Each structure stands twice: as C-alpha cells, then as structure tokens.
Structure 1
Amino acid sequence: MITEFNTSFSINGLQIAYADLSEVAYSLVKEGEPFEREIGDFLLDWISESPVIVQRTSGSTGTPKEIVLSKEGMVKSARITGDFLGLGEGTKAVLCLPVNSIAGKMMLVRALILGWELTMVAPERTPLWALQDTIDFVAMVPMQLEASLKEMDRVSMVLVGGAPVSAHLQQALMGLDTIVYESYGMSETASHIALRKLNPLPEASKSGSLPPFQVLPGIHVDQDETGCLVIDAPFLSETSIRTNDMVSRPEENSFYWLGRADNIVNSGGVKLMPELLESKLQPFIKQRFFLTGLPDKVLGQKLVLVVEGEPEGDLIAEIKRISGLEKYEVPKAVHYLSAFEETKSGKISRAEITQKLI
C-alpha cells in the first residue's frame, strides 16, 4: 500500500483526505461517467495492498501486452517531473487523458503526491472548452492541443506527448505565451523519461530546428549496437529498458528521436527512416499520412505514401518539387484510405494498415 499523500490534493474543487479516497473512488465507479469510472478503478488499485500497478501497453509499436510497474517507482517519477517543471503544492491541473493509459494514470499520481488541485474532464478532442478558470498545467496528446489553441491564453504550461508533434502544430505554438514541453516515454517508463521545450524555443534553436530531448534527473540513456535507445532508470527497473527507437545523441544526457527501427524501409539497399521523411513532408500535406514500405520485385521494398482522405491533385509531382528531398526519398506510389485504423490510444495503426496494403 502507498501511504505517501499530500493533504493539499483536491478533485474538482473538493479537498480529499487519504482516508476518504476509497469512498470517493467507489462513488466514481458506481455513479460516474465512463471516464470517471476509470479514475475510480485506478484510485482503488492505487490504495490497495499491492505494491504494483498492472498496465497494458498501447499497441502502437506491436502487440499490446501487460507490464508491471512499482508504485514506488511511479511516485519517484511523479516527484522528478514536479521538481523539473516546478509544479508543487496548489498547482491547478487538468486531467483530460484516459486513465487506462499510463499518461492519464501518472497525472493522477502527480496530483496525489504533489498536492495538486485537479480538475477532471472527459478525454475528448476539445477538453478545455467549458473551463473558465486559469490552468497551471495540463497534459495532452497533439490532437487535443491543436484543437485547444484558442484556450491556451488561460494555460500556463502544457505537456504534449503520445505521438509526434507535427510541423504545423509546432509553428502554431510560436505565437503562444504558454510554455509547451514535448515528452518522450512509454508505458514501461511510467510516462516520460525526457522532455524538450517547444515554446518558447531556446535561443540556440530560433533558426527553426528543435532542441534535443533532455533526460530527466536520475535517468541515464545510451545506445545499443543498432543505434536504438537504451534507458537506465533504477527506480523503475532493475534492468536496462531496451527500445526500438533510433536516436542520435549530441550530448550524454540528450538525444534526438529519429524513428522506429521496425519501420525502416530498405529500398534497393538504401535504408529510409519514414518518420524523418514524414517531418519533411508535413508542411506540404494537409491530411493525415504516413510512409511505409511495400514489397517490390526490383527494390525489395518500395517507399509508399498512405494518405487519409480523398485525392487532392498529383501528390507525387508536388513532392518531387520539394527542396532538399533526395530522389530516393520520393514515394513510388500513393494509397488513399477513407479512414485510418487507430489503436485505443488514438495512434495510427501503421503495421495493420501496411499489412492490408500488401
């Protein structure tokens, strides 16, 4: 059982004592909306005798699986984030992420441990529209942030993660006073292990290039022989956490995310990183899209563009005119789909869609 608790903790304006958490949780489970029932279920798990939480991964990079996280490690992670971002007692925070995700769970843990004044709302596309008060801190996925830009004048700080931030959204953030951090992490690391500031950009990044992710205190990162990130976080795992994320490391405690090793397209002996190429194409394609590899008799794999929606002009011809794009980086074909399949966490199911195109 976790007994660490900050007495300043409140939900929707109601200050709650540790002894009352079970009653509040049961009330949410019995009488709440679906998202509130998830919150109630997690609170009951959190105050149970078990020293661990069982979390199901999102499935965005493979088959979903159950992992076990120690409550002690989650508490440590919450404190590290609070210290790094300066979010202490009395922080007015909004929980608008589903609590079946690790990101939603960790927002609750931070509130409980750090003593936040937490407002919980449905995890919808525009979660802040009905809130009138100023907000110190909110965590969102990119889709929510983009849909909530007009509400940002009431928000001091945003943590965005769960999917890459598009070039279009990055540009939209430049006109805001809100501080925006992008996170890197996964279920296995109890949310993020590294952050980078998107707004305002550091002076060294004013040219337009984003800064690298900065690893949080108490965590060390390295690369394996394939160039993938290896994470050492002793408070979370006794062994190193090996990822399939290709990175470059300008300094010891920082890195740039390049893409997933399992997404690499080997086209005629040239290894192409779809995520890197997608960042080059984002300013020129309005619809959601991704790049992937399909079997080819000559090349082994050919690079193709998959777009959500109806065709709009000759995309291949337009891409060929993009400055700085090499000939082998131009997709060989475009596939249009009416709607992308998504994981439960709202990410594009690249592997499933690609398999259906073969």
Structure 2
Amino acid sequence: MYNTRIHPYFSIYGRLYSKDDLLELGYSLIKEGEEFEMHIGGFILDWIDSSPTILVKTSGSTGTPKDIALKKEQMVNSALATGNYFNLTSKSSVLLCLPATYIAGKMMLVRAMVLGLDIHFVSPTSSPLEFVDRSFDFGAMVPMQVANSLSKLNLIKKLIIGGAPISNSIREELKGIDNSSYETYGMTETITHIAVKPLNNKMAKNTPFTVLPNIEISTDARGCLVINAPNISDEPVITNDVVDIISTKEFYWLGRFDNVINSGGVKVHPEHIEKVISNYMDIPFFVAGIADEDLGEKVVLVVENGVKEDIKQTLDTITDFKKFEKPKSIVVLKEFIRTESGKIQRFKTLSLLKT
C-alpha cells in the first residue's frame, strides 16, 4: 500500500491540482485527450493508486524491450535528487515534451508532482518547441529534438539531454546557446539519470560525467560500470558500459561492452570511432564489427541512405583514426531498425545484412 503525496504547489499550466483533482484529470485525458495526453493520463492514474510500484518499459535499444517494476518511493528519491542538483524549487516551470510511455517522460511528471513544479505539456514530436513562445526553468529532450530546436533552445534555462548519443555538431552548437544544457547518463533501471555533464562550456568535450549525490560507482572485471545507489535501487546495477573512473564521483564513458570489436587482437570501441566520423558526416550511421577470416572481426561503417563512393572519399580524408579504427568496408542500408523512441537497434539492423 502506497500513500501518494502530491506537493501543494503542483500545477499544470498554472492551475493547482490536488490528488482528487488528478483522478478526474487522468480519466479526462484518457477519454478525450490526444494520444500523448492519453499516456500522461494513464501514468497519473497509476501514480496516485495504492500500488507501491509502477511498471515501466525499457527502451529496447540494447535488447528486447521488457517491463520492470520500479518502486514509487525510489522514483520519489530520484525526483528529489534531480531537484536538489538542478536547484528546482516549488513553482519552477517545466516542459514535458517526451512521451510518457517511457521512464524519462514519466519522471518529468513525478518531479512536478513531488517538487511542486508547474508543468506544461506539448506533443513529443521531433520539433517540440515549434509552437512554444514562453520560457521554462527545466526540460528534457532527446538529441533529435535538440537538433530541431536550436533556434529556440534558450527558452529552456536548464535542459537535460539523453536517450541517444549526442553528435559532435550538436555539441558545438550548444556552446553558443544561452542556456545550461547537460548530457545525462542513466537507464530505466536507475530511474533515469545518475550522472550528468555540462555541454555549454568550451571544455565540455573533455569533461567527465559527475554522479548525483548518494551514488557510488565502481567497475567489474570487464571494466563496466557498477552503480550502487540504495535510494533508487535495492541492488547494485551492473551495466554493460565500459568506463574510465577518475574519482569517486567522476567517470568517462568509453562505450558498450557488447559493442566492442576485437580486430586483430586489438579491442576497438565503435562509439569512439563514431565520435571521430561524426565530425565529417551528418547522415545516420553506426560502426560495428563483422566476422573476418584474417582479423577475427573487421570494422565496418553502416550508413543509412548514403552514397558509398562519397562516404569512402570522406573516410580517406580523416587522419584521426588509431590503428584498426578506420572502417575496412562500408555498408549502405535503405533504412535502420529503430526503437519507438528513435534509438538505432544495432544488432537487429546488422541482421539485415544476412537477409
């Protein structure tokens, strides 16, 4: 049995809502709202019921999507930690432009209800600020939304960005925008972000992630990040993210363990190669390893709707590759397989090569 407490200053579009009001609102959104509002209404009803847990779907970017149960008490703790880190106080204004079907959108609602924020909704399109004409204290976006909102991004004073890799071109653009933008590290199992790093300063490229309060980090035998955060998870969260820990509170993310390519006995992180290539290419692509008789695995560049000859010419101009990093071949596919939230599903997309 969970007794949901709603902050007395929680409001939607400036109107205060009590727990009783939310019951009526939830049903109204489900019955009469647009599709994205129906999901918001459904989550509100789940949040205020007596169950101590919420079922949340993982994104499926690194495996099959699955439902996991998160404790509401731990979701509250996550909201409090975010509020403390970003100095969000009651009556601060926040924009929800992510779908409430996944953890990032759900937690924006939780933060508003727990911290007493004034939340506004817009459809979670690829250009969410298109019709927005006012400023907000806080918001969250995925990189694709950021790329399509650069001219109006100053309307969100503090912006967290996650859900997919951020391209080098976006990183450069953010340095000239008059707001505070942060890259986040986290996952559904950690109830969104557990670490952030600023993106606006000129040294942002070499800045490590800094973990939020009450979180301890370490690595396992594979060099992958282990997160010990008793306020948000009953057990340590063992990730598949290879990291370089530089202090008890800071780390560099190197790449996914399950993406590592063993080429001629050298372990290569495709994410690093992608960062290099993204300085020269702005079409969708990713780097992967495929079987090779001589090397065991060879590095290949997989591109969506590109011209192979042009891409080869671009690769030949790049001098930043280390040994074994330059792609040995280029594969062009008509369309990548993506999750509902827009993340490229590498392994499923690679399976297209065999069909």
Does the 8 Å contact 1:198/1:210 carry over to 2? Answer: no
Is structure 2 residue 288 aligned with structure 1 residue 287?
no
Matching residue of 2:65: 64
- The amino acid that maps onto 2:18 is A
Instruction: Report the alpha carbon displacement of residue 319 of structure 1 after superposing the two structures with TM.
Output: 1.9
> How far apart, in 2, do the equivalents of 1:318 and 1:147 lie?
25
Structure 2 counterpart SS, 1:63: coil
Instruction: Report the alpha carbon displacement of residue 312 of structure 1 after superposing the two structures with TM.
Output: 6.0
> How far apart, in 1, do the equivalents of 2:41 and 2:320 lie?
51
Q: Show structure 1 runs of 4+ deviating over 4 A.
A: none
Matching residue of 2:9: 8
Matching residue of 1:42: 43
> How far apart, in 1, do the equivalents of 2:46 and 2:316 lie?
54
- Number of residue equivalences: 353
Matching residue of 1:346: 342
Could you tell me the TM-score, scaled by structure 2's length?
0.96
Does the 8 Å contact 1:79/1:114 carry over to 2? Answer: yes
Does the 8 Å contact 2:308/2:332 carry over to 1? Answer: no
1:106-126 CA-partner distances (Å, limit 9, x unpaired): 000000011111101110011
> How far apart, in 2, do the equivalents of 1:6 and 1:237 lie?
24
> How far apart, in 1, do the equivalents of 2:294 and 2:132 lie?
57
Matching residue of 1:241: 237
1:275-330 CA-partner distances (Å, limit 9, x unpaired): 01111110111211100011112222111001111306442343233223124111
> Which shows bigger deviation, 148-157 or 173-182?
148-157
Matching residue of 2:112: 111
Paired residues for 1:74-113 under 5 Å = 74-113=75-114
> How far apart, in 2, do the equivalents of 1:195 and 1:8 lie?
27
- The amino acid that maps onto 1:340 is F
Paired residues for 1:122-141 under 5 Å = 122-141=123-142
- The amino acid that maps onto 2:353 is L
Does the 8 Å contact 1:247/1:257 carry over to 2? Answer: yes
> How far apart, in 2, do the equivalents of 1:270 and 1:176 lie?
39
> How far apart, in 1, do the equivalents of 2:243 and 2:78 lie?
23
Question: 1:351–1:312: structure 2 CA closer, same or farther, 3 Å change rule?
Answer: closer
Instruction: Report the alpha carbon displacement of residue 268 of structure 1 after superposing the two structures with TM.
Output: 1.7
Instruction: Report the alpha carbon displacement of residue 189 of structure 1 after superposing the two structures with TM.
Output: 0.5
- The amino acid that maps onto 2:268 is L
Does the 8 Å contact 1:92/1:116 carry over to 2? Answer: yes
> How far apart, in 1, do the equivalents of 2:311 and 2:132 lie?
41
1:216-248 CA-partner distances (Å, limit 9, x unpaired): 001111000110000011022221110000000
Matching residue of 2:197: 196
Paired residues for 1:307-346 under 5 Å = 307-311=303-307, 313-346=309-342
1:42-99 CA-partner distances (Å, limit 9, x unpaired): 0111011100011111110111112111000000100010010011111111100011
- The amino acid that maps onto 1:283 is N
Give the percent of matched residue pairs that are identical in Structure 1 and Structure 2: 45
Matching residue of 1:177: 178
Structure 1 counterpart SS, 2:327: coil
Paired residues for 1:14-53 under 5 Å = 14-53=15-54
CA RMSD of aligned residues (A): 1.3
Is structure 2 residue 165 aligned with structure 1 residue 164?
yes
Structure 1 counterpart SS, 2:275: helix
2:262 is aligned, of 266, 269, 294, to 266
- The amino acid that maps onto 1:323 is T
> How far apart, in 1, do the equivalents of 2:313 and 2:129 lie?
40
Structure 2 counterpart SS, 1:315: helix
1:180-217 CA-partner distances (Å, limit 9, x unpaired): 0111000001111111111135xxx2xx6331110100
Matching residue of 1:357: 353
1:135-176 CA-partner distances (Å, limit 9, x unpaired): 111100000011001112322111100011110000001111
> How far apart, in 1, do the equivalents of 2:185 and 2:323 lie?
31
> How far apart, in 2, do the equivalents of 1:2 and 1:116 lie?
20
Could you tell me the TM-score, scaled by structure 1's length?
0.96
> How far apart, in 1, do the equivalents of 2:250 and 2:36 lie?
35
> How far apart, in 2, do the equivalents of 1:285 and 1:250 lie?
31
- The amino acid that maps onto 1:118 is I
Instruction: Report the alpha carbon displacement of residue 264 of structure 1 after superposing the two structures with TM.
Output: 0.7
Q: Which runs of 5+ in 2 are unaligned?
A: none
Structure 2 counterpart SS, 1:164: coil
> Which shows bigger deviation, 2-11 or 180-189?
2-11
Q: Which runs of 5+ in 1 are unaligned?
A: none
Question: 1:314–1:104: structure 2 CA closer, same or farther, 3 Å change rule?
Answer: same
> How far apart, in 1, do the equivalents of 2:353 and 2:4 lie?
51
Is structure 2 residue 214 aligned with structure 1 residue 218?
yes
Structure 2 counterpart SS, 1:295: strand
Does the 8 Å contact 1:2/1:46 carry over to 2? Answer: no
